[in-house]
A and B are shown apart, each in its own frame.
Chain A
Amino acid sequence: MSQPYSAPPEGHVSHSRLERVLRSGRFAITAELNPPDSADPADVYEAARPLGEVADAINATDASGANCHMSSIGISALLTRAGYSPVYQISCRDRNRIAIQGDVLGAAAMGVSNVLCLTGDGVGVGDQPGAKPVFDFDSLSLLRTIKTMRDERKFLSGRTIKNPPQLFLGAAENPCIPPYDWRPERLAKKVEAGAEYIQTNYIYDVPLFEKFMARVRDLGLDKKVYILAGVGPLASARAARWMRSNVPGIHVPDAVIDRMEKAEKPGQEGKKICVELIQQMREIAGVSGVHVMAYRKEHEVSEIIRESGVLASRKR
């Protein structure tokens, strides 16, 4: 079941399907899996099924929002067993450099070929605010460390790694929150640190994102890194407001909330907005795909993608 240790295809750094899709110039789809509060693998597979129909890779979140769920490495391992291609998310909040470097080797050995390096939300917003925050790495030093492990075959200590992890390296970016002017510059830093693809946070403010992308193109970053725009269906105006004030780093413009408020069926409207967002993202130069985060609405993901028509050109 597990693949033998072999060199990645020419011009690739990993065996990742996501990497192949992006490098071949096709519009990529990734989707976020809602991690179960359970030790039953069946719960993971149930959550993965509606995503696997359309996604090139499935993101396994690492205690996002500082809330405890099944670990991202556990979910990633289960997904590889069933033939899915996971994105193993690593947050710097909970583990130090010793744990993370070990986990990176472990994940790669279990067939993981995408990682996403994240700083992580502060422990204060989560369900156990008394926990000790670690933050030994930040997302950039983590990127550089895994790149060193992969390309130089070395731990950060200088010790040699016999067979290096073959991983497609990703990072996040949040274009819609301050300091707006420096966000593209920091993206450049992430590319410098080793990022090969970017998944952004939720984008509901398209003009603001377009401004960000214009600067990204000016800096030539769209040629150096694949950018997947983050989208997701809103459940209701109330949920959107709650997210805006309680989840770090989420910007929902008033116009979008108004539209949700006026809709007769908010659920349908949220889906429709998401479909429209995906279609708009596709038209923005430098955007290579979308990352769908449908929290508690995983069952809608394949429908949303089909309705958006972004996969119509793909022969499946």
Chain B
Amino acid sequence: MYRIRLFAIRHSRSFEWIYKRLERAMIALDPLLGKIGYDRVERPVAFVEKCVKTVLFDCKMCGQCVLSSTGMSCPMNCPKQLRNGPCGGVRPGGFCEVKPDMKCVWALAWDGASRMKGGAQIHTVLPPVERNLEGSSSWLRVSREKAAHLRKAREKRRTAIADAFPDARKNEPSAAPLAEEPAQAVKGSK
């Protein structure tokens, strides 16, 4: 697996392209996934994701995939699981402090990022891993995130109307509603 991982980092640019497509597909699938229920698809999707990503990246299913920001080198393979590496212990030749036979995950990450279109993302400071998300699907998280973003934009619009017509809302709440609307009640939403 280690060799496939190195291959993926060497071809970080191609994998970046594939990942972008996958992300778009996951976002497009949000309405469908929402209908089936994210809860119901969580396990099967996580299973498929685990199989694919374990082969390609030695994925550890942290649930918070940041491959696009780390040169397609999975940071969970770093024995210190750094999210902003490399540490100060890298050995001569770029080998790991803790596992001397392994190339430093983060030296590879910076190398991989230098070949990617969006490689500059590696300069962003990443937060610590939320351990309670371990084992869950990152792919589904991406589509949910996008959906949440859309919902937020919709909310903002509704709030703006309600704020602009406060008196109308006081007399007739349904003139500028703020409560959550069920999908069936709104035309055009699936």
Contact = CB atoms under 8 A, between A and B. Distances in A.
Interface string B34-76: 0000000000000000000000000000000000000000000
A119 B125 contact: no
Nearest to B98: A122
A22 to B, nearest CB: 22
Contacts of A189: 84, 123, 125
B139 interface: no
A185 B123 contact: yes
A188 interface: yes
18 contacts: A121-B89, A122-B79, A122-B80, A133-B80, A135-B82, A140-B83, A140-B126, A141-B84, A172-B88, A177-B89, A177-B90, A177-B91, A179-B94, A189-B84, A192-B123, A193-B125, A249-B87, A249-B90
Contacts of A122: 79-80, 89, 97-98
Given A193-B84, A249-B90, A137 B128 contact: yes
Contacts, number: 96
A74 interface: no
Contact of A138 (B83, B93, B97): B83
Question: Which A-B residue pairs are the 6 nearest by beta carbons?
Answer: A248-B89, A174-B88, A140-B84, A122-B98, A182-B110, A138-B82
A138 B80 contact: yes
Interface of B: 79-94, 97-98, 104, 107, 110-111, 123, 125-128, 131
Given A97-B128, A248-B97, A179 B80 contact: no
Contacts of A92: 80
B145 to A, nearest CB: 19
Interface in A60-112: 92-93, 97
Given A124-B98, A141-B127, A179-B107, 20 more contacts: A93-B80, A122-B97, A133-B80, A136-B131, A138-B82, A138-B83, A138-B128, A139-B84, A141-B126, A141-B128, A177-B91, A178-B91, A178-B94, A179-B110, A185-B110, A188-B123, A189-B84, A189-B125, A192-B125, A249-B97
A41 B88 CA distance: 31
A307 B128 CA distance: 44
A217 interface: no
Contacts of B89: 121-122, 177, 248-249
A14 interface: no
Contacts of B82: 119, 135, 138
Nearest to B92: A178
A113 interface: no
A249 B89 CA distance: 4
Contacts of A121: 89, 97
Contacts of A269: none
A150 interface: no
A177 B125 contact: no
Contacts of A182: 86, 107, 110
Contacts of A93: 80
Nearest to A174: B88
B97 A179 contact: no
A188 B120 CA distance: 13
Contact of A136 (B98, B125, B128): B128
A231 to B, nearest CB: 16
B98 to A, nearest CB: 4
A128 to B, nearest CB: 15
A249 B104 CA distance: 13
A226 to B, nearest CB: 18
Nearest to B96: A122
A180 to B, nearest CB: 10
B143 to A, nearest CB: 26
Contacts of B91: 177-178, 248
Interface in A117-166: 119-122, 124-125, 133, 135-141, 144
Contact of B104 (A172, A173, A179): A179
B158 to A, nearest CB: 25
